[in-house]
């Protein structure tokens, strides 16, 4: 690969990486005002609501991510190199940096997912412990 081509590809990567990180920050700021924060009020909702709210947030992020990548891919590159490099840079950076920006800026979403996982895990563990206790009682003839 020629040094000029390498430099142009790297510049396109740098621009898209900065764009998607900034875009993720702006999206996070906007969605923070639309969805509940992870606080006592959110924790008080029933599990179905929590799961539904998190899924809705993920769906909105997914839709915005797809359409932003769609339009960026259609836009001409800042430093055109070749269709092969331009497409691979768009695809790779769009996916990687958008995912990175989501988990960098969407702390509440990550914590909500962990909270739901813990709540579900604890519920399953309690049910299994209760079943084991019943089985032990039954085995002892009580």
pLDDT in tens, 51-110: 999 999 999 988 988 888 888 888 888 888 888 888 888 777 777 777 777 777 888 888
**Any domain includes 29:** yes
pLDDT attached to residue 91 = 77
pLDDT attached to residue 139 = 59
**Any domain includes 109:** yes
**Any domain includes 103:** yes
Q: Give percent above pLDDT 70 in the chain.
A: 91
Q: CB count, 10 Å around CB of 41? A: 9
pLDDT attached to residue 87 = 80
**Any domain includes 47:** yes
**Any domain includes 131:** no
pLDDT attached to residue 112 = 95
Please indicate whether residue 50 or residue 107 has the higher confidence score (pLDDT): 50
Burial class (CB in 10 A: 0-12, 13-18, 19+), 105: buried
Question: Confidence band (pLDDT; 50, 70, 90) for 136?
Answer: low
Q: Give the residue among 7, 26, 12 at the shortest CA–CA distance from 86.
A: 12
Print the domain residue range for 88.
19-125
**Any domain includes 100:** yes
**Contact 111/39 with Cβ under 8 angstroms?**
no
pLDDT attached to residue 35 = 94
**Any domain includes 25:** yes
**Any domain includes 37:** yes
Evaluate if residue 48 carries a pLDDT over 80: yes
Angle at 40 between CA 99 and CA 119, to 5 degrees: 65
* Tally of structural domains, the chain: 1
């Amino acid at each position: 690969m020629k040094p000029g081509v390498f430099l142009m590809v790297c510049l396109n990567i740098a621009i898209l990486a900065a764009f998607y990180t900034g875009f993720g920050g702006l999206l996070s700021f906007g969605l923070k005002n639309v969805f509940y924060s992870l606080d006592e009020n959110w924790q008080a909702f029933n599990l179905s609501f929590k799961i539904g709210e998190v899924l809705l947030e993920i769906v909105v992020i997914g839709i915005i991510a797809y359409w932003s990548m769609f339009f960026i891919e259609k836009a001409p590159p800042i430093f055109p190199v070749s269709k092969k490099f331009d497409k691979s840079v768009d695809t790779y950076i769009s996916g990687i940096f958008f995912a990175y920006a989501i988990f960098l800026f969407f702390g509440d979403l990550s914590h909500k997912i962990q909270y739901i996982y813990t709540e579900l895990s604890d519920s399953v563990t309690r049910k299994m412990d209760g079943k084991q206790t019943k089985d032990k009682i039954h085995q002892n003839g009580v």
